[in-house]
Amino acid sequence: MTDNQKSVLVVEDDTFLAQLLTNRLSRAGLAVTRAADGEEALSDLKNAKPDLILLDIILPKKSGFEVMEEIQKDPMLKRASIVIISNLGQDEDMARGRQLGAIEYYVKAQTSIDELVGKVQQILGVSAK
């Protein structure tokens, strides 16, 4: 990772989707770290300071909502922007995600990988490669 390279933490328990996102974001010039569950995500956040977190909600060990609650409690973890990617598309889920600090909320079934990568690049101010 270069000094000015933006970094993304992908928190996704679906191995295929996590790999696909990792590959596409890497090709877009971003440094990508992956976590398969909420506990691993929090551990990664203590060691690395990603610029953005792509966070699933339904995760093993700790849900995405629980991860966001922990981030809010710990001032050392608050720096990264959070974008939720989830199959939960109910209004109350989206409202809770935003209340906990998510800047965007995408429902997986309604969002293409291209859209997601483009949105991440836009949020981070990184031009498409």
Walk along the chain (129 residues) in steps of 10 and give the mean pLDDT of each run.
80 95 95 96 91 96 96 82 92 94 93 93 82
How many other CB atoms are found less than 10 A from the CB of residue 89?
13
- Residue 108 and residue 86 in contact, taking contact as beta carbons nearer than 8 Å: yes
Question: Which architecture does CATH list for 7-124?
Answer: 3-Layer(aba) Sandwich (3.40)
pLDDT of residue 2: 53
pLDDT of residue 8: 96
Q: Which residue is associated with the tokens 């995760």?
A: 59
pLDDT of residue 47: 87
pLDDT of residue 76: 77
pLDDT of residue 77: 77
pLDDT of residue 49: 87
Contacts of 114 by beta carbon, 8 Å cutoff, 6+ apart: 24
Q: What is the pTM of this model?
A: 0.92
Distance CA 14, CA 27 (A): 20
Q: With residue 85 as reference, give the H or E element that holds it.
A: strand 81-86
Q: Which residue is associated with the tokens 């890497």?
A: 26
